[in-house]
Amino acid sequence: MDKIKFTTEELDKYMDTCISLAKCSPFPMGRPYVGAMILNEEGNILSNGYKTFLSGTNMILHAERNAIYNSNISPMSKHSRRSHILITTLEPCSQTRRTQQFCSCSELILQYPISTVVIGDFDDVSFSNGKPSSFLSSRGITVIPHLNLRERIKDELINPLYGYDSGKVYTPAKTLYKMSRDN
């Protein structure tokens, strides 16, 4: 699938659903809140996900990872064809930290038959800054910035703790999780 076959109105509807999903993230999940969904090429929603904690831990599972795992699509094989679409409110992560238990969401996307990633906004924190989109594009994944709802995503899912335009680092979810356990 080379070109996405959805109208702007359809993409707005899917992104609106992802925004609603993002708001399902549990307290005390740190911002940015992220929602994602997997579609087949006909536009049927196969699964969705939002940023949450791995059950019983303070480890974060990103929305894209949850959507992929919830979709029941099989990882790529030599007979697979990339045909699924991932829609997410924020560009998938592409960098792993030393303490991270999982590969990045961008690396995970490459392991599944996802042909296209539609993003609602770029992750403007300094260590990302457009790198995930470049990473995926350079490996044959079509990345489509669908920025029609960008201001809403910033206002409702990113700004309050994230310091989106100020360059501040957001309050890590691990710290918020610990703070909630202490009260």
Residue 138 has pLDDT above 90, yes or no: yes
Per-residue pLDDT of 9-56, as tens digits, reads 999 999 999 999 999 998 778 889 999 999 998 999 999 999 999 888
3 state SS of 117: strand
Six-digit token pair at 95? 């960098």
Q: What is the pTM of this model?
A: 0.83
Give the pLDDT band (50/70/90) at residue 177: very low
Q: How far is CA 90 from CA 17, 56, 87, in A?
A: 13, 25, 9
Residue 20 in domain: yes
Tokens 């920025």 belong to which residue? 147
* Mean pLDDT (whole number) for 89-109: 86
List the domain range (segments joined by +) for residue 41: 8-76+83-166
Q: How many domains does the chain have?
A: 1
